[in-house]
Amino acid sequence: MGDAMEPGLGVNPKPVLGIPHLSDYFSPLMQFMNSLPADEKVILVGHSLGGLAISKAMEIFPEKISVAVFVAALMPGMTLDAATIYNESSSGAFTLDNRITFDNGPTNPPTTFSFGPKYLASYVYQLSPIQDWVLATTVVRPLYLYSLDDISKEIILSSKKYGSVRRAYIVSADDKALPKEFQQLMIEKNPPDQVEEISGSDHMPMISKARSTIYSSYSYCQQMTSYLIILIQLVLHIHDE
């Protein structure tokens, strides 16, 4: 699964301008969840923006999810909605060599966003092995800039459905792209069942602190279930720490 599941990411060939609505971005995950047998459950792990994707799945398919794990991810809730955390978390991203495009004309809102090599080195991979940063600069692809209105309409969460799914949050302590303070705010406003913190990790804890990330995810999930783990925007690389 991983990034290959997401349109506009990984090996998924769909171009970014072909997914102009958040529902388009979520579609592969929703199709997968819908295809699961009624008696089968999965563990969903969301990293970064993947937190929005698994939150949507939790609301639509709560009976098919055993545990949801948020790894340095956006975690909306009933008191801190998805549009708010998306807007707040992205406010510092339009800096250094990051790029935006205006495919609908200069008088309309920007349509896509791309990370630049300098930003990736300074804010995303600053504690990761240099070879992973180099690889990231060669495979980075643009992200569609969804409107806050679209996000608000697409992600509406309820305590009855979303709130019924067990959640864990893994804090990346030295994350510069999604600072620890913001991660803690989401946790405070929308408390999960368990919180783990990984020290010395950047925005890519599955790379900068791979063993710690895997252990934190596994130790919690092992308590809850032995079902299949589905990775959403989380590719695990094993490095010596």
Domain ranges of the chain: 19-233
pLDDT (0 to 100) of residue 210: 77
pLDDT (0 to 100) of residue 4: 41
pLDDT (0 to 100) of residue 53: 96
- Give mean pLDDT in consecutive 10-residue pieces for the chain, a chain of 241 residues: 46 83 95 93 93 98 95 96 96 90 96 96 96 94 96 98 96 97 98 93 90 64 51 41 45
The catalytic site residues sit at: 48, 175, 203
Residues 6+ apart with CB under 8 A from 178: 48, 72, 73, 74, 89, 172, 203
pLDDT (0 to 100) of residue 220: 59
Instruction: Determine the topology of domain 19-233 in CATH.
Output: Rossmann fold (3.40.50)
Asked if 36 contacts 63 with a C-beta cutoff of 8 angstroms, the reply is no
Asked if 85 contacts 74 with a C-beta cutoff of 8 angstroms, the reply is yes
pLDDT (0 to 100) of residue 218: 61
pLDDT (0 to 100) of residue 8: 44
Tokens of 163: 């709130």
